[in-house]
Amino acid sequence: MLKPGKAQYSYILNSIGNIIDDIIVYCIADDNYMMVVNAANEQKVKDWIAKVHSEPLLADSKWQIVIKDLKDASLPDAKVDIALQGPASAQCLKNIFGTDLGKLKSFTFTSIETKDLNLIISRTGYTGAKVGFEIFVHPSKATLLWDTILDKGKKLGVIPCGLGARDSLRIEAGLPLYGHELAGEFNISPFQAGYGWAVKLQKENFIGKEAIAKKAIDFQTEVARLEFGGGKGIRPIRQLDGILDSSGICIGHVLSCAGVGDRQIMLALIEKQYDIIDSPVGIYYLARNQNHIQQGRQEKVKIGDSLTADLAGKVVERFEKF
Amino acid sequence: MVPQNLYYTKDHEWAQVNGDTAIIGITDYAQQSLGEITFVELPAVKKQVKMHDVVAVVESSKAASDVYSPLAGTVLEVNSELGAKPELINQDCYKTGWICKLKLSNPAGMKNLLNSVQYEEYLKSL
C-alpha cells in the first residue's frame, strides 16, 4: 500500500489489458489520493473511473468513493501543476520558502503553507533531471507562484519552458509519452516500453491483469533509444521514419525524436533482438512531400522491407544517465 | 517590416523580380513560425517549376515545411550556403537567406502575387 507522502507511477488498464493512461498517484492520506493524468486523456480517464465506480463487481465495496475534479477552480483544493526542474531547483525553492527540499526523495512529497500559498511540492517530474519538483497550487494562486519563481529564480537561471522543450528533455532521458511510446498506433505495452516493473503482476487482482500478464512475455518489438547525427544541415528524423538493420532491412519505426546538440536522440519501436547497445542502425526518411514520392520515396514502411539508409546511427542505453 | 521591393504569396514566400529572373525565399513570418531551421532541401539547378510547385523544403525541429515557388521558371542557381548554414534563413531571410534564383518562363506571373502593402494587410488578418 502506498503510504501518505509517497507517490507512484502506474497505469490505468482496461479489461483487455490495454493502457487507458499512465498516471502518478499521490497518497495524501490513507483515505485521500490525488491522481495526475495526461491532459489529452482526461475525459477518457474520467469516463473510465465513473464506469468502474458504477459497477459493483469491479469496485471494491469496502470503500465509499468520492471523486473530485481538481481542475474545478471553485473547489478549495483545486490544483494546477507547475514543474520546476533542474540542478538549481532545490536552491530556488529554498530561496522562496526557506525550506530545504534538496533531501526530499524521488517520488515523495510534502506540503508547504505560507501566508498566501498552500502547496504540495513533490520530487517528481518529466524531464529526466536528477533534481526536479512539481508544485501543486490552487489555480487562483498559480500566477502569483509562477511570478515568484521567475523573480526569485532569475539569478539561478530559471526560465519559463514550454511543452516542446519539455518533450526534447523527456525523449533524451528515454521517458515514454502516452500515445507515442505507450499505447498509440502500435498499442505498445508497459513491458515493451521498459516499464514492466510498474505492472505488479504479483498482486491478487486488478482490472486487466489476466490480459496484461500475457503481454509480459509475448512481444516481438520493444522501445529502444537510438542516437544519430544531427544539428545543422541534417534532415530531422520524424515519427514513423523507418529503422533499418545494417543490411537495410526495416526492423521498426521512430516513435519520437529530438535534436540534442549535434545529435538526434530517438525512441523507436524495434524488433527486440536488435536492441543491443552500440548495434549499428540506419534511418530511412519517409517521403515528406509529393516530390519525394515522385522520386520513389515511400510514404510508409513496414518491418521486413528492404531499403537504403539515409543516415547511420546506433543503439544507446534505454535511459540517459544524467 | 516587410521589404517594399519584393512580391509575396499567402504561403509566405517572397520573390525579388529583376527582368526575366527572380530570387526567391521565405518571409520573416515563415521563419519565425518554424523556429530554428536546421535543414534546407534545395532544388536541382535546371529544375523546371510551375507556379506553386514545391521548390524546396525547410525543416526545423517543429515541422517540415514545403516552399512553393511563387513564380514559374527554371532554377538557375541555388543558395548552397544553406546546406551547412540553414540558420541564415532565421538570421536574414530576405538577403543571405535566399533560397534559389529562377529564370522566369512568364515574367508577367508576378501580377498574381501580393505587393508589400497587400502582404502586410494579409499578415494583419492572420
Task: Please answer yes or no on whether B83 and A231 come within 8 Å at the CB atom.
Answer: no
Partners of B24 in the β-ladder: B15, B100
Of A164, A230, A233, the CB nearest to B62: A164
**Based on the structure, what is the number of domains in chain B?**
1
As given in the structure block, the three cell numbers for residue B70 are 511563387
Q: Is B86 on the interface with A (CB under 8 A)?
A: yes
What are the 10-residue block averages of pLDDT along chain A, 322 residues in total? 95 96 97 95 94 72 83 95 96 95 96 92 96 97 97 96 92 98 97 97 94 94 97 95 98 96 96 98 96 96 98 97 83
Give B118's contacts (C-beta < 8 A, 6+ positions apart).
B8
- Minimal Cβ distance to B38: which of A164, A231, A289: A231
Percentage of chain B with pLDDT > 70? 100
| Grid coordinates given for A192 | 515493451
Q: Is residue B1 part of a domain?
A: no
Give the residue on A whose Cα is nearest the Cα of B60: A236
> How far apart are the C-alpha atoms of B2 and B15, rounded to whole Å?
12
The Cα–Cα gap between A280 and A316 comes to 10
A274: three-class secondary structure by DSSP: helix
Nine-digit cell string for A214: 500475457
Domain that holds residue B64: 7-121
| CA gap A103, A133 in Å, rounded | 12
Contact yes or no for B61 and A168 at CB 8 A: yes
Q: Which residues does A271 contact at the CB level (< 8 Å), separation at least 6?
A: A220, A221, A251, A252, A303
B50 in any annotated domain: yes
- What does the pLDDT look like over A71-89, one tens digit per residue? 999 999 999 999 999 999 9
> How far is residue A185 from each of residues A40, A188, B8, measured CA to CA in Å?
15, 8, 40
Among candidates A81, A98, A60, A320, which has minimal Cα distance to A205?
Answer: A60
The pairing of beta strand A221-229 with beta strand A109-113: unpaired
Half-sphere exposure of A158 (CA within 13 A, CB side): 24
Give which of A123, A167, A130 is closest to A322, Cα–Cα: A130
Q: A246 has which bridge partners?
A: none
> Does B126 map to a domain?
no
Residue B25 has pLDDT above 80, yes or no: yes
Of A164, A234, A289, the CB nearest to B57: A289
In single-letter form, the type of residue at position A22 comes to D
pLDDT at B61: 82
Contact A238 B64 (CB under 8 A): yes
Q: Which of A163, A167, A171, A235 best tests the B interface by mutation, with the highest count of B CBs <10 A?
A: A235
Which among A235, A289, A290 has the least Cβ separation from residue B39? Answer: A235
pLDDT of residue A57: 62
Provide the number of CB pairs (under 8 Å) joining chain A to chain B: 42
What is the least distance, in Å, from the CA of A47 to any CA of chain B? Answer: 33
| Closest Cα in chain B, distance from residue A236 (Å) | 7
Q: Is the pLDDT of residue B9 over 80?
A: yes
What does the block give as the cell for B53? 510547385
Nearest Cβ partner of B39 from A168, A233, A290? A233
What residue ranges define each of the domains in chain A, with the CATH number in brackets?
7-166 (3.30.1360.120), 220-316 (2.40.30.110)
Query: What is the rounded distance in angstroms from the CA atom of residue B49 to the CA atom of residue B40?
Result: 18
CA distance, residue A233 to nearest chain B CA (Å) = 5
B 33-52 residues with CB < 8 A to A: 38-39, 41
Which residue type does A89 have? S
Q: Compute φ and ψ for B118, nearest 5 degrees.
A: -65, -40
Q: How confident is the model at residue B108 (pLDDT cuts 50, 70, 90)?
A: confident
Q: Where are the beta strands (DSSP E) in chain A?
A: 7-13, 19-29, 32-36, 80-85, 109-113, 118-122, 132-137, 221-229, 242-244, 250-260, 263-271, 280-284, 311-316
Cα three-residue angle A98-A108-A136, rounded to 5 degrees:
65
Cell of A78: 483545486
Nearest CB to A290: which of B54, B60, B83? B54
Cell output for A105: 526523495
A231 reaches B (C-beta below 8 A): yes
In the numeric block, which cell numbers belong to residue A305? 522491407
Q: Are A281 and A227 in contact (CB under 8 A)?
A: no
Q: How far is A223 from chain B (nearest CA, A)?
A: 22
**Looking at residue A59, what is its pLDDT?**
58
Whether residue A236 and residue B87 make contact (CB cut-off 8 A), yes or no, is no
Q: Which residues of A touch B69 (CB under 8 A)?
A: none
Q: Residue type at B69?
A: S
> Taking each helix axis from N to C terminus, what angle separates A89-97 and A139-153, rounded to the nearest 10 degrees?
110
Q: Which residue of A has its CA nearest to B42?
A: A233
Q: Is residue B25 part of a domain?
A: yes
Q: Which helix (H) or strand (E) holds A171?
A: helix A163-173
Q: How far apart are CA A113 and CA A117, in angstroms?
A: 6
The percentage of residues in chain B with a pLDDT greater than 90, rounded to a whole number, is 93
CB distance A233–B84 less than 8 Å? yes
Per CB-CB distance under 8 Å, the chain B contacts of A164 are: 61-62
Chain B interface test: which of A239, A254, A289 (most B C-beta within 10 Å): A289
Which residues in chain B have Cβ-Cβ distances shorter than 8 Å to A283? none
CATH number at residue B105: 2.40.50.100
Cα distance between residue A243 and residue A137, in whole Å: 43
pLDDT at residue B42 is higher than 80: yes
| Predicted local confidence at residue B94, as pLDDT | 98
What gap in Å lies between CA B122 and CA B125, rounded to an integer? 5
